[in-house]
Structure 1
């Protein structure tokens, strides 16, 4: 078995109190440290990288999906290559629980049988799943407040798929669904010539492209975003600088909390 989990008897704290330690000596709640960060030669064609197994047991499989690889097949033969297609020959039937955008890297949870899928789907629907992402966005952001639990900002903007320009999503107060993202700056830096901020992100809801659209609406698009960033920021990185680094769920068999981590590759 491949194992990399941490199980708890109670769910992880979603209030923001138990936040990751900021890199480069930063402290949560203080102004993020400034660093100079040269763009790295990040691989754009992640589809050629096989997904690494983070954890597997009789009920679930957790992989570290590379950027550039679809989670599930799309329409047409050119979109048949995906994480599930690469795993099926080795792990047998797999059941979709959630998805990551093709451009996003990080933790993807799959069920190994229908009962596990149903249990996990209920957990996602009830928002009993805790996810943390890391991103590098354009511009410098400061912590939104001070004091206990005041170092997290909130974005509450309703989102809807922009059907004439799909797969894009847009903010729509008339037709959008309620959408909620929490964000915390942990480091100010330069990505090439661009001032930037490394953020920890916590999606409370799970709308299509939620993190990407919310940060664009905040005026700080994710660097490398081909859909939502202007050309200079889109071209500043060889991939979208968004990574799903932490995932915690109640296990479908015994309901104990399990948490998995994936290091950010940028």
Structure 2
């Protein structure tokens, strides 16, 4: 059962669990659970995808309930008219907020995109970032006698593949659990000592104009128990107030695997 965070006659939004694919993919033919099919069965009606969160990313995921509404919502995404807010736990201490304007080359999958043409030039990519809290624990990781972490609020202005993961890696503060762009020793340490066995990236908020009524919607998805456990380890209990209300759903459990995919 998916946690529905908003629903009306035109659209529905859920709190996507980490480790769950949005829809079927021939690259993951062994998978049997998908958000799209689960939601369709839960509502007993067809749903239309308008954007995606990759497998290890949890949080707000929006669907349309008709093809026309899907078209209108897709236009908002394509024209960057929606405001997306993520939270992430990253390696090290990042002390200042800023705007990272760092173009990214298209990142293609070796199998799924083997016939695709890679653009010759890097594409514009812009991310707003703000540190919310810091932690240092006396746990040796690699050559260091302690480990440091920062809770980040991230708002992408563009939508490049793996943009947040690649931008944080560029800043030398990779997201914990990122097996492709991150620090593998830090990932192992966070998994062993703090239960962070997956990508610590959560889509907390999505702000948009309702495609039919014109009202401003702010959709919010709370973090799951893995995030709450991490906050307790890092002494960030007070910072939970900066995130949407904690969800009671346990679909996004600590057993969800880390992956090379992301929003």
**Which TM-score band (shorter chain)?**
0.7 to 0.9
How far apart are the structure 2 equivalents of 1:139 and 1:252? 41
Moved more, 191-200 or 128-137: 191-200
Higher-strand-fraction structure: 1
Structure 1: segments with no counterpart, 5+ residues? 1-49, 144-150
Structure 2: segments with no counterpart, 5+ residues? 140-145, 191-195, 228-263
Name the structure 2 match of 1:158. 104
Distance 1:118 1:162, change over 3 A: closer
Alignment of 1:185 with 2:131, yes or no, is: yes
How far apart are the structure 2 equivalents of 1:164 and 1:70? 19
Name the structure 1 match of 2:37. 85
Higher-helix-fraction structure: 2
Q: Give matches, 1:115-126, under 5 Å.
A: 115-126=68-79
How far apart are the structure 2 equivalents of 1:73 and 1:163? 16
Name the structure 1 match of 2:55. 102
How far apart are the structure 1 equivalents of 2:78 and 2:183? 34
Alignment of 1:239 with 2:198, yes or no, is: yes
- SS across alignment from 1:99: coil
Moved runs in structure 1, 4+ residues, more than 6 A?
none
Q: Kindly state the Cα deviation for residue 65 of structure 1 after the two structures are TM-superposed.
A: 0.5
Aligned-residue RMSD, C-alpha: 2.1
Q: Kindly state the Cα deviation for residue 180 of structure 1 after the two structures are TM-superposed.
A: 1.1
2:214 maps to which of 251, 255, 258: 255
How far apart are the structure 1 equivalents of 2:57 and 2:3? 15
Alignment of 1:58 with 2:9, yes or no, is: yes
Q: Kindly state the Cα deviation for residue 211 of structure 1 after the two structures are TM-superposed.
A: 0.5
1:11-61 deviation line (CA, Å, top 9, x unaligned): xxxxxxxxxxxxxxxxxxxxxxxxxxxxxxxxxxxxxxx421101111111
Q: Kindly state the Cα deviation for residue 175 of structure 1 after the two structures are TM-superposed.
A: 3.1
- SS across alignment from 2:36: helix
How far apart are the structure 1 equivalents of 2:9 and 2:219? 17
Alignment of 1:132 with 2:85, yes or no, is: yes
